[in-house]
A and B are shown apart, each in its own frame.
Chain A
Amino acid sequence: MNDMQIPHLNRLWLYVLCGLIVFFLIAPAFVIVPMSFSSSSQLRFPPSGFSLQWYERLFFDARWQSAMGVSGLVAMGTVLVATPLGTLAAYGLHQYKGMVSTLINVLIMSPIMLPVILIAIGTFFLYAKIGLLHSIVGLILAHSCLAIPFVMISVASGLTKFDMNLELAARIHGATRVQTFLRVTLPQLRMSIAAGALLSLVTSLDDVLISLFISGGSSTTLTKLMFSSMRDQIDPTISAISTCLIALAVIAITIARSIGVGERK
């Protein structure tokens, strides 16, 4: 605390206000988790009775099983495509500054700057022509477009702390460019790359709109199934899958915080 601080008592209102805003931020999670263990099919809070029936429904229903499988596969595929592509892009752009690299930067960032509906109808239009609709590969590639910017931001911020003279030293001692990158640069960037990979995973699991357009049939994603269940009627099975996704978010944040993402630098 520095000498400039307004006394705590005088800013009590700020603490109360912020407490309410924090409550507002975590309220949905606060309601969903207990509801998923409810024994009633009514969407009531506080829930009446305890049961695992919605989890049973979730894990034994063929539609939900298939959707979880598809989304898991697509999310992993997205991590595997977006992480190397985003890392290479960040590395390439870090070394060259100029008109061309600015343009490339804008292009690669565009998927997260533009409204997702535009990407969704664009890929829908393209995939209908080239026969990638309702395919896992198509989903992975589309989700990768959304995820690469996050990997690039993460790795780029890692690169600003990396001393390029280390590369120079390796090169002087006879290492090739590729050797230098793999054995000197890459190990130093591993935390930023891991954070980027984690963000790719979360990005893929978060997407609704692109999946609504380009997934379907046996490639229906979890979010598409959730979306249609929520539109038709509020199915309590969604509480169960939502609780699983919240748990996944908590794990992801814990990992991200432990490798230093979003920490005070």
Chain B
Amino acid sequence: MLAITLPAVLLVALLVLLPMSWLSWLSFVDESGAFTLENYTRIFVSGAYIPIIINTFIISFVVTLLVSVLGYPIAYLMAQSSPRVTSFLLTAVLLPYWTPVLVRTYGWMAILQRNGPLNEALLALGVVNAPVQFLYQTSGAVIGMTQIMLPYLIIPVYIALRGVDKDYLRAAAGLGASPTVAFIRIYLPLSLPGFAAGVLLVFILSIGFYVVPALMGGGRVTMIAMRIERSVMVFPNWGAASALAIVLLVATLVLLAISVKLARLGGNLR
């Protein structure tokens, strides 16, 4: 019966696995086909790549932090509210989730531009005296990425929070814990594995991000994926592109392995 998975397996093997193996091989050979580590030493020794890798991780970290802080309260409210409120919140989360990334990026470019609604509101409120440059800056890219990543955190965390047994909270209350104490000592720890898995997912997606930094960074923001694109499209250098791709692949796989471990941990706690 496993044979009926074959069409899907063949398609993915041909389009994903095969080119990926090819690229890893390419990253270890030079133009004459001899084995070399030059592509990797260039990444880690020459000064051009390290800042991009560090920048990618810093931006991803900031985005993940913002998404976690903004996402948890929504997921919490969704898990606690009446079905009607939950349904409304779910729609508010699903609408951006199902809207193409490019469309949302465009919306943010309109909002954040020099004479856009955000600057006009800030000027009208007297928060700033002159329009702030958000767009074509790291700050604009971070705002855009945060909104785009939010649903990826909210949905898994909501599912995890729904699984938290409310009897534990009742027991805590019965033993005299205030709602705040019950939340911090009982609810938060029980929801932690699901939360951590969502956080890691957002981080994994962030380090591979291309569209938002490419459009909203205005050339001032370079992330790994953008550098890979340039190595392939602008100055075809498959050695450099493939080595950088393998670095990104390994980073992703390590993070995925950690998130699988965390999911197991979460399963055991239940």
Q: Which residues of A contact B (CB under 8 A)?
A: 1-6, 14-15, 17-18, 21-22, 24-32, 35, 43-46, 84-86, 88-89, 91-93, 95-96, 100-101, 104, 107-108, 110-111, 113-126, 141-142, 144-145, 148, 152, 202, 205-206, 208-209, 212-213, 223, 226-227, 230-231, 234, 238-239, 242, 245-246, 249-250, 252-253, 256-257, 262-264
Contacts and interface: CB of A to CB of B under 8 A. Distances in A.
Given A4-B170, A21-B74, A246-B103, A115 B248 contact: yes
A35 B202 CA distance: 31
B90 interface: yes
Given A101-B2, A253-B91, A118 B73 contact: no
Give the size category of B's interface with A: 35 or more
A227 B102 contact: yes
Nearest to A24: B147
Given A100-B2, A117-B208, A2 B7 contact: no
Interface string B1-14: 11111011101111
Interface stretch (B77-85, B123-131, B261-269): B77-85
A123 B22 CA distance: 11
B101 interface: yes
B113 A209 contact: no
Interface stretch (B28-36, B40-48, B188-196, B224-232): B224-232
B241 interface: yes
A46 B17 CA distance: 48
A114 B249 contact: yes
B206 to A, nearest CB: 10
Interface of B: 1-5, 7-9, 11-20, 22-23, 70, 73-74, 76-77, 80, 82-83, 86-87, 89-96, 98-111, 113, 115-117, 147, 150-151, 155, 162, 166, 169-170, 173, 179-180, 182, 204-205, 207-208, 210-211, 214-215, 224-225, 228-229, 232-233, 238, 241-242, 245, 248-249, 252, 256
Nearest to A7: B179
B-side interface mostly: helix
